[in-house]
Amino acid sequence: MADRKAELAGKVALVTGAGRGIGRAISICLAKEGAQMVLTGRNDVALEETAQLITAAGGLSPLVCHVDLLDLPTIKAAVKVAEEKFGHIDVLVNNSGITGKTVPMWELKENEWDETIDTNLKGPFLLTREVIPSMIKRNYGSIIFIGSVTGKRPFMNKTAYAASKLGLVGMMRTLALELGTHGVRVNLISPGFVAGPRLDGVIELVAESEKTSFETAHAKMREMIPTGKFVSPENIAEGVLFLASERSAGITGDDLNISGGLVMY
């Protein structure tokens, strides 16, 4: 750990989907800045791996909680355990989400729509609702949603995903208005194309649908980005750190694009 004062020393941060990808990068980043981490998700093995990476980097030993965002009892149990163990939750990062089925809307089954909307929108609602009361009581907190540029810029065959991510923007802005006088800030990050296995899977689907190679589809997607580069999970994590820390004390109700310029509004 650095000799300078850690930005999140004394703070408790709960991250959903902390077992891999963006969630893991966020958890490690916040832990390196002194946060006591509460790692949640459905993949217990992956969560333990993240916990080991945090302790190996000199961070505080995390609390690992199995949470299914479609199962309210697991949400309530995790929040209760975290608050009993650490006294409070200062930072909530709603990161978990699924991309859902990639088909035209008229081919989307009702259960496929429901799964995407429930996971990406209802789940964060249920968890945030559990955390808010203690933040109001302490007159302090930072709630951060991980959205997507897909909520702003349409992409073919992603109706449910786009609807869920744009819905998060509406939830975030309303909460920011409601919680402003209670000392709780609420913001959202809209990532662009984030390098990693999930994006590789998307590129493979694009290549298959366009009957081209992975390399060609990869290059075509990069050409859409002004910087010519995919963003990294660590880029997103740094944005979360900013919104979680006192550096962003004057910011609430904001939607921060981290997309290499893919979206500029």
Catalytically annotated residues: 161
CA 8 to CA 31: how far, in whole Å? 8
Locate all alpha helices (DSSP H) within 72-213, ordered by sequence: 72-86, 110-117, 123-138, 159-179, 197-209
CA 248 to CA 252: how far, in whole Å? 8
CA 104 to CA 33: how far, in whole Å? 43
Give the position of tokens 């609702």: 129
Residue 128: Cβ within 10 Å count: 19
CA 242 to CA 255: how far, in whole Å? 13
